Amino acid sequence: MSLLKVTNLTKKFGKFTALDGVNLELNAGEVLGFIGPNGAGKSTTIRVLLGILKATDGEVKIFSKDAWQDAVDIHKRVAYVPGDVNLWPNLTGGEVIDLFIKLNGAANKAKREELIDKFDLDPSKKCRTYSKGNRQKVALVAAFSSDADLFILDEPTSGLDPLMEKVFQECVMDVKKQGKSVLLSSHILSEVEKLCDRVSIIRQGKIIESGTLSELRHLTRTQMLVDTKLPITGLNELKGIHDIQESKHGMTFQVDTTQMDDVIKHISSFGIIRLESAPPTLEDLFMRHYEGEKDTGGVR
């Protein structure tokens, strides 16, 4: 069942088109990665989802309700964490957490204490004294203590240290286990890779790629390192081989995932000593899309 469905969403600010026909879908119990470069429209999309900006065109449904019209109803089951957390300087972290939890509706006191402890946050300090990471922890503790069904997280870990990022990842896994859904906008691709079932990539207000990680990988290349008894010949003639380089450990090259079978058959005839392969990272994917679009001259 789709919890969140965005169909053909367009948002214009005056003449500037920030979002141009965006489609998104998030099912129950799923974690959707939402990635894209700065200014691509991630935060604008999220603000439309939250009913803070009004869509110029298109349909945005959350829990089968309209994101603008029924914002308050929807928000009873939504927890949101912004990337840039700007808190009231003269309230303490604990006060802000309680306020947020209360405004969300259902509160879970035990969970609050547990999370404050896990995130190693001092709730008795004024927000003015918190660093960026600590302010983010306040928002994260409030979000994960709430009893929401949908978590909308907009670059929530940009200020956290690796240890705290791990705590964050555990929190996401936890809510996923409970059958809740997460929309995770992020720059940290390893995080998206680890947590997300599906990924949507946005660029200049348009979704340019959408699918499960394996689906997206299918479109990409695998990095290979091969050392053989006899020198490999005829690699160049094979289809789907790129970027061949010789090193003292052997040959490295990239293979289109679809041509893998032919390539392995070919090189195995030279007597394999060592074979290493690395799956394409999301980063490769990401870079290919952005760089590819940037220099459309076709260097690749």
Partner 1 sequence: MAGNHLAKTAFLSKFIFRLDRLRIPLWVLSLTFFTIIVPSSFKGLYSSQQERDAMAQTMANPAMTAMTGPADLSNYTIGVMTAHQMLLMTAAVTGLMSILLVTRHTRADEEDGRLELLRSLPVGRLSYLNASLFTVSAACIGLALINGFGLYALGIESMDLEGSLLYGAALGASGLFFAGVTAVFAQASDSSRGTIGYSIAVLLISYLFRAITDISNESLSWLSPLAWVTKAEVYDSNNWWPIVLMIAAAMVLFAAANYLNAIRDLDRGFLPSRPGKQYASRFLQSPIGLALRLQRTGIISWAIGMFVLGASYGSVLGDLESFFSDNEAMKQLLKPTEGVTLVEQFIPMLMIVISLMATIPPVMAMNKLRGEEKKERIVYLLSRAVSRSKLLGSYFVISVINGFLMLSLAALGLWSAGDAVVEGGLSFGMIFGAALSYYPAMLVMISMAVFLIGFLPKFTGFIWLYVLYSFIVLYLGGLFQFSDWIGSLSPFGHVPQAPIEEFSIIPLLLLCLAAGVLAAAGFIGFHRRDIE
Residue 265, Cα to own-chain centre: how many angstroms?
36
Smaller CB separation from partner 1, 116 or 195: 116
Q: Please report how close the Cβ of residue 88 comes to partner 1 at its closest, in angstroms.
A: 6
Q: Which of 26, 35, 78, 183 binds partner 1 (CB under 8 A)?
A: 78
- Of 160, 248, 202, 106, the closest CA to residue 172 belongs to 160
Within 35-74, the residues that bind partner 1 by CB under 8 A are 47, 50-54, 71-73
- Name the residue nearer to partner 1 (CB basis): 114 or 262: 114
Residue closer to partner 1, measured from CB, 99 or 273: 99
Q: Among residues 58, 94, 211, 279, which is the contact residue for partner 1, using CB under 8 A?
A: 94
Q: Which of 6, 19, 42, 100 binds partner 1 (CB under 8 A)?
A: 100
149 interacts with partner 1 by CB under 8 A: no
- Cα 180 to Cα 116, 177, 210, 279: the distances in Å are 21, 7, 21, 29
Which of 7, 28, 125, 258 contacts partner 1 by CB under 8 A? 125
Residue 151 interacts with partner 1 (CB under 8 A): yes or no: no
- Contact residues for partner 1 (CB under 8 A)? 47, 50-54, 71-73, 75-76, 78, 80, 82, 84, 86-92, 94-100, 102-105, 123-126, 128-129, 139, 152
